[in-house]
């Protein structure tokens, strides 16, 4: 697919031919997996879920298990485990270019994909229409609270620092918004299209594709 100049008509042709490759990027809890599930269930898209791939590779039963294993960047084991986590994610993300045997693909990334190797992100952009489900700048406070209520595996990639006399909890709460701000900027740079997440909230598969096409027409 010639993604930089993809037209709505060309998207329709790719979907009809089973050659459409779509990747959702964005924050955790923004709806990437829900959108992917809808496209898989209603239009038989092949669904590649990177979170599930990491879970299988590490032989864990749930994302909660991965979160407990990875821990927080204030823990001694974190650096080595973060490196392993990103190594697996990097390898799986290269599968954006995999053969799909005549099926359309929805590639469901993790929230940390912007920390992957530059060449891997280049492969993703060259092989998939990258759509950022944009949570918006005003959502960051809510996302911070959600993370501390229900922690998920997070690659901090050096975005934590400790101030004198600061507890681990205080450092995490102070630095996490900075990590989210960084990621939001990087998602917007990485993607071909930035679509506010609320635009596709609770939409069916056809409606989701129509919204994507409407944003292609604006490019």
CA 19 to CA 102: how far, in whole Å? Answer: 6
pLDDT of residue 3: 66
CA 25 to CA 112: how far, in whole Å? Answer: 9
Residues with Cβ within 8 Å of residue 62, at least 6 apart in sequence: 55
Paired tokens of 144 = 């911070």
pLDDT of residue 6: 92
CA 38 to CA 151: how far, in whole Å? Answer: 25
Domain assignment present for 70: yes
Residue 117's domain comprises 8-218
CA 170 to CA 3: how far, in whole Å? Answer: 43
Contact 120, 94 (CB under 8 A): yes
pLDDT of residue 99: 79
Contact 54, 110 (CB under 8 A): yes
Domain assignment present for 140: yes
Report residues of the chain scoring pLDDT below 50. Answer: none
Looking at the structure of the chain, the number of domains it has is 1
Contact 168, 72 (CB under 8 A): yes
Domain assignment present for 91: yes
CATH, residue 119: 3.40.50.300
CA 120 to CA 207: how far, in whole Å? Answer: 30
Domain assignment present for 3: no
Domain assignment present for 199: yes
pTM for the whole thing? 0.94
pLDDT of residue 163: 92
CA 154 to CA 95: how far, in whole Å? Answer: 21
Domain assignment present for 48: yes
Paired tokens of 20 = 């459409």
pLDDT of residue 84: 97
Domain assignment present for 111: yes
Residues with Cβ within 8 Å of residue 94, at least 6 apart in sequence: 120, 123
Domain assignment present for 2: no
């Amino acid at each position: 697919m010639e993604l930089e100049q993809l037209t709505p008509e060309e998207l329709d042709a790719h979907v009809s031919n089973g050659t459409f490759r779509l990747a959702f990027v964005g924050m955790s809890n923004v709806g990437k997996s829900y959108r992917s599930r809808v496209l898989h269930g209603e239009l038989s898209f092949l669904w590649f879920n990177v979170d599930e791939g990491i879970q299988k590779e590490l032989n864990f039963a749930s994302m909660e298990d991965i979160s407990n294993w990875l821990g927080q960047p204030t823990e001694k084991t974190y650096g080595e485990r973060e490196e392993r986590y990103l190594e697996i994610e990097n390898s799986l993300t290269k599968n954006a270019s995999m053969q799909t045997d005549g099926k359309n693909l929805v590639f469901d990334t993790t929230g940390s994909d912007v920390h992957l190797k530059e060449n891997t992100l280049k492969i993703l952009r060259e092989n998939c229409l990258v759509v950022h489900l944009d949570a918006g700048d005003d959502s960051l406070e809510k996302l911070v609270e959600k993370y501390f209520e229900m922690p998920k595996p997070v690659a901090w990639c050096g975005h934590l620092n400790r101030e004198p006399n600061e507890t681990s909890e205080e450092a995490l709460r102070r630095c996490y918004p900075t990590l989210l701000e960084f990621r939001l900027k990087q998602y917007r740079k990485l993607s071909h299209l930035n679509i506010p997440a609320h635009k596709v909230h609770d939409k069916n598969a056809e409606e989701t594709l129509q919204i994507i096409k409407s944003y292609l027409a604006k490019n």
